[in-house]
Amino acid sequence: MRLKNKVALISGGANGVKNELMGFGGACAWKFVQEGAKVVIADIDTVNGQKTVDQIKEEKGQVEFIKLDVTKDSDWKAAVNFAVHTFDQLDILVNCAGTASVERVEETTEDIWDAQMDVHAKGAFLGTQAVIPIMIKQGQGSIIHLSSINGLIGSQSSTAYHAAKGAVRLLAKNTAMQYAKDGIRVNSVHPGYADTPLTKPLFADEDALALRLNKVPLGRVGTADEIANGIIYLASDESSFVTGSELVIDGGMTAQ
């Protein structure tokens, strides 16, 4: 029960339906509840979000759902207020909401650029801004941003995605420095290639998958559960001396 008596808000957590491929947020929701946390799943996908919540409740987990468009400040404020009203506190924010784009520089339109920045960088910023006053009042909190190895290194594609995930990485560091004195820790998680609903189309091509696996020393893609295990560490008191850090979970890819 590493998260006992803690309340977590997880954006992008609707992809946690049992017997289906889960995303990072959905896997986190299940594991957080199993570790004793009370959880609010917030997502723009109301159908799967409610389905995930219903399934977790069947397993006696304390969890609720609220619709959240991470690009809207009013939605963030409503989600944070809902979490505090429902569970009396808010200890953990996990920013898992995300989308993908694969375009090279010359193929990246202004709309593609803006969409990636809005969901990842702006979404993480608005979520942080919404929870900070609550966490200051409580004297503690843990904010965890899902970045990517693409927020650390470059590649042959995904221009806007790389830039947006890089922004998330530095947002975490900057926020960590500003609010360390308030007992608030902020860290970023950088998954490598992992099997999730977001990457399923990319891995469907066997040749493309083989090219990616050749870059991973451990020779396989990761799972949502493996990423969620790292997030649990950062959410728990086990990481009480960790802030402004990058947790890379990538099978050794960026060590080369």
Task: Describe the crossing of helices 46-58 and 24-34 by its angle, rounded to 10 degrees.
Answer: 20
Q: Where are the domains of the chain?
A: 7-249
At 3, which amino acid appears? L
- Amino acid at the residue 59: E
Provide the pLDDT for residue 47.
97
**CATH tag, 7-249:** 3.40.50.720
- The CB-side HSE value for 39 (13 A sphere, CA atoms) comes to 36
**Phi and psi angles of residue 157, each rounded to the nearest 5 degrees, phi first:** -155, -165
The residue annotated as part of the active site, out of 161, 179, 193, 233, is 161
Task: Tell me the C-alpha distance between 184 and 126, whole Å.
Answer: 16
Averaged over 222-246, what is the pLDDT?
A: 98
pLDDT at 199: 82
- Token pair 């040749």 is found at 207
Q: What is the mean pLDDT of the chain?
A: 96
Residues written for the chain: 256
CA–CA gap between residue 250 and residue 131 (Å, rounded)? 29
CA distance 174 to 185: 11
Over pLDDT 90: what percentage of the chain? 91
233 catalytic, yes or no? no
Q: Which long-range contacts (CB under 8 A, 24 or more apart) does 115-120 make?
A: 115/160, 116/160, 116/161, 116/163, 116/164, 117/160, 117/163, 117/164, 117/167, 118/71, 119/70, 119/71, 119/164, 120/161, 120/164, 120/165, 120/167, 120/168
What pLDDT score does 38 carry? Answer: 98
pLDDT tens digit sequence for 95-147:
999 998 999 999 999 999 999 999 999 999 999 999 999 999 999 999 999 99
Least confident among 43-52, 94-103, 205-214:
205-214
Q: What is the pTM of this model?
A: 0.96
pLDDT of 207 > 90? The answer is no
3-state class (DSSP) for residue 14: coil
Task: Name the 3-class secondary structure at 231.
Answer: helix
